[in-house]
Each structure stands twice: as structure tokens, then as C-alpha cells.
Amino acid sequence: MKPATFDYVAPRTVAEAVEALGDPGREAQVLAGGQSLILEMHLQRSRPELVVDINRIPELDRMSVEDGELRVGALIRHAAFEAADAVPGPLGTLLSRAVVNIAHPPIRSRGTMAGSFGWAHPASEWCAVGVALDATVEVTGPEGPRALAARDYFLGPYRTARGPRELITAVRMPLLGEHTGVGFIEHRRTHFCFAQVAVAAALTVHDGVIGDARIGLVNSADRPVRARAAERTLLGAEFGPLPAGRRLPDTHPFARAGRVAAQEDAVPVAEPYADVAYKRQAVAVLVGRTLREAATDLRARLAAPEGDHR
């Protein structure tokens, strides 16, 4: 199948892109990496009358650290995060662990983080990280720029608070302190399938006690969700030695957090090969394992030589 007929423009500035998107009389779509849009157009599930190609806008192809946050321009590709030291500290580790789960190298070399937030697929790895860290999505439209917190951004499958005439210009995420460990685990039916459940986690420990916990879930509801009920069970828990063996005892704080996430935070939607009960069980297990991975990461980080906390 071939795409329906459409017009094409390639603006050179954000202002030109916003102007192109601003015509309320016709449906427009933004093209960055095109890894979701092009497929949808070929299947004619998306039939934009205008495609706005932003790949010629230099200001969108920048990544920087500003005021304790990582700012990722709308043209930064997934592959930019494959090396853990591409971004300083634990955030770089978390991004590198998440990105290797995104499809395969050709897609990672073209697709963008901003595109994942724009498309808002319920199983998006970047969206799991985004809700866990309460990322900020910067958009610009006819009314000017604004910033949307991840907790308010996702409204449902492929639905966001971004207006139809607004362009995502960047995604911001907070840098994580050196007393933070991170983890990312997803479960999928086969290697190139979307995740049936994915979990991103960050644990911050002070004086042997968990002082902050962040857990993001995707494909565990109709939108990415932060597991706040599970997080609350971890606050104040002792950061003790991890038990031997793969399975966590039911009484371990991480196992308890997994059960709470499955019952109180997740609102699973059944899909082929994964009914609601299956997904709840997957959430319970994966949250526990991801927290364990975060704890292991933190122990390694604290044991590393001075200055080597990648």
C-alpha cells in the first residue's frame, strides 16, 4: 500500500515550522525520524494533508546540560544514548539501558526521543523513563512556547496534551545524583515486538535508607504511568544487602513494591498473548527485578573509584 497524496514542506526555523502547522484547515504531521509516521502513512492509517519535515532546523539538533537538567532537542536520535557516558551520571546509565530495548540499530539511528513522546505509544521505552523522572516536554505553537510535565502530558493511547498545531522542540529530564542507582527492564514476546510490560526505576539512598524512589511503567495501563503507590512503600526502607538468588523473598521491600504496583498503580489493558492477569503478574515481577537492578547499580557506583561514577 502507498501513502495518500500529501503536500511536503521542509522549514529552516522553528517559526517556519509552526507557521506551516498553523493552518487549521488541513491535517498536518511532523516528520523527524519517521519511524512511526512513515509506516502509518504507508498503511494509510495516517493520512496527513501536509508533512512538515523538521530535519533542516539546526536548533533542534542539539543536546545540552542546563540547570541540572538534560535538554534533548527534537532531532536527537535514539542512538545518541547508547553509550552510558553520553550523558553524565546515573541518568546516562538509565538512558543507555532503556535505548537498547528500542527496536534495532537502523531504527535507533533514525528515530528520536521527541518523536517517541510525540507518538505516545503505550509501550514506549522513553515514555517509561519520562514518567519515572517526571520529564518536561517543551512545545511551541501559534500561541508561543510552553512546557508540559510528563505527569500531565499523556492522556491515553497516542493521545497527549500537545495541541495539534504545536511542535515538540525538546524533552528535558533531571540529572540524577551520585547516590542514585537506576534500572530498566522490559518483557516482550519476541525480540522485535513492543514491550508487553516495561519498567524504569531510580533509587536514591542516604545514610543507608531509601530517600527517593521513582518507578515508571509502560504498557501497564492505557498510558505511561508513574507507580506512586509502589514508590511510597519504599520510602524509609533500609537499603540492606540483596538476597542471593534471582527470586526476591515475598517480604523484601522490592517484592512488596512490585505487588503494590501491580494492584494499585497498573490498570492493564488486555492484548493478544497478554491478558490482564498476565500483565499484573508481569508488573509485580518486573518492578521487583528493576528495583534490584537499580540497587545493584547503586552499589557498584558507590564502590567505584573517585570520579568514576558513570
The pLDDT assigned to 224 comes to 98
pLDDT tens readout for residues 48-103: 999 999 999 999 999 999 999 999 999 999 999 999 999 999 999 999 999 999 98
**Summary mean pLDDT of the chain:** 95
Domain locations along the chain: 7-53, 62-174, 180-302
> Which pLDDT score, from 0 to 100, does residue 84 have?
93
pLDDT tens digits, 215-269: 999 999 999 999 999 999 999 999 999 998 888 999 999 999 999 999 999 999 9
Domains 7-53 and 62-174 share a fold: no
Helix (H), strand (E), coil (C) string for the chain? CCCCCCEEECCCCHHHHHHHHCCCCCCEEEECCCCCHHHHHHCCCCCCCEEEECCCCHHHCCEEEECCEEEEECCCEHHHHCCHHHCCHHHHHHHHHHHCCCCCHHHHHHCEHHHHHHHCCCCCHHHHHHHHHCCEEEEEECCEEEEEEHHHHEEECCEECCCCCCEEEEEEEECCCCCEEEEEEEECCCCCCCCCEEEEEEEEEECCEEEEEEEEEECCCCCCEECHHHHHHHCCCECCCCCCCCCCCCCCHHHHHHHHHHHHHCCCCCECCECHHHHHHHHHHHHHHHHHHHHHHHHHHHHCCCCCCC
CATH superfamily of domain region 180-302: CO dehydrogenase flavoprotein, C-terminal domain (3.30.390.50)
CATH code for the part of the protein at 62-174 = 3.30.465.10
- For the ranges 8-17, 62-71, 296-305, the lowest mean pLDDT is seen at 296-305
Domain 7-53, CATH: 3.30.43.10
Residue 18 has pLDDT above 60, yes or no: yes
Lowest mean pLDDT among 130-134, 180-184, 190-194, 227-231: 190-194
Asked if residue 308 has pLDDT above 70, the reply is no
Task: Report the pLDDT averaged over residues 132-149.
Answer: 98
